[in-house]
Amino acid sequence: MDEKRRKLAIWIVASLIFQGSIYLYFDQILLAPTSAYEVSAATDTVAGGKAYYSRDRRYTAIVKDNSVDIYMAARKEPVRTVELSNNKEVSFFRWLKDRDLALMAVHEETGATSSVTLTQIHPLGAEHELAETVSKLPRGSKIVDVAFSTATNVIYMQVQVSTNPEQYRVYRTDANRDLKRVYLNASKIGRIAVLYDRDTLFYDNIAEGTVTARHGDGSWEVVSPPVGKYRLVGVENNVIYLARLNAQGLATAIYTGRLKGKFAEERVLATPMDVRQITVQELGKAAGK
């Protein structure tokens, strides 16, 4: 083998090893199937930002517009600071529920467009913090929610691209870092959620008062009951939680069901509530689960 072919072979082998390492990292470390539910949203408002607690409160992240300060609770001392440049801001932060790792979304304005990035954050810092960036979005765009399953290794990012009127897009990526936009039958959507063991995205169409399941093969179906208007509360252990709305758009009852199954009233709320105040976790606490 001459020198030119030998170098080409070495380059190909190195590329394959690099790509394989990225896939294994996503598949075996970042998105390894150790939990049926993914993230913790436990937060408190603190001076200058919000405090996000890791799964067992071992770490606390103080998230501000341009920085994230991570503290180790036992020693009450900072262990890491993530500083962003002045034109970048944090729009989303959550700890995973089954390990000490967080997801952070950052948006950046460049001229008339914006770019948004979703990255992973290790409390103590690590060499391989992978990130996905969506560029050339309308100015002001930012990631406002993320849904993924550790079993399917698929991540959905909800990006707000306009505030007046409210408009959203959803992007999908996976362990192969195949990033693409998911085209939906609605632009004004509320929450997003996924099934644990299937590549199925749920989202609510606020304009219509319906909740839709969009499957990985591109097919979709309205899953909310045909009578009344509903919003998505969340999905846990493949159980879908919906909120039935009154004429004022407030939640009056919680319905539960599964894909391809019927939904039944699970409880009536004592007082009509803003759906944004209702989470699956809070429903579980109220039920003593």
The pTM is what?
A: 0.79
Query: Interior CA angle at 190 toward 169 and 252, to 5°?
Result: 165
Q: What is the DSSP letter of 159?
A: E
**Rg of the chain, C-alpha, whole Å:** 21
113-121 and 131-138 strand pairing: antiparallel
Q: How many helices (H) and strands (E) does the chain have?
A: 2, 22
Reading phi first (left if > 0) and then psi (alpha if -120 to 50, else beta), residue 167 is in: beta
Q: Element (H or E) spanning 79, and its range?
A: strand 77-83
pLDDT of residue 42: 60
> What whole-number percentage of the chain has pLDDT above 70?
80
The model's pLDDT over 189-238, given as tens digits with 9 standing for 90+, comes to 999 999 989 999 999 999 999 999 999 999 999 999 999 999 999 999 89
The model's pLDDT over 224-276, given as tens digits with 9 standing for 90+, comes to 999 999 999 999 989 999 999 999 999 999 999 999 999 999 999 999 999 99
| Beta strand spans in 188-257 (E) | 189-194, 200-205, 210-215, 220-222, 230-236, 239-245, 251-257
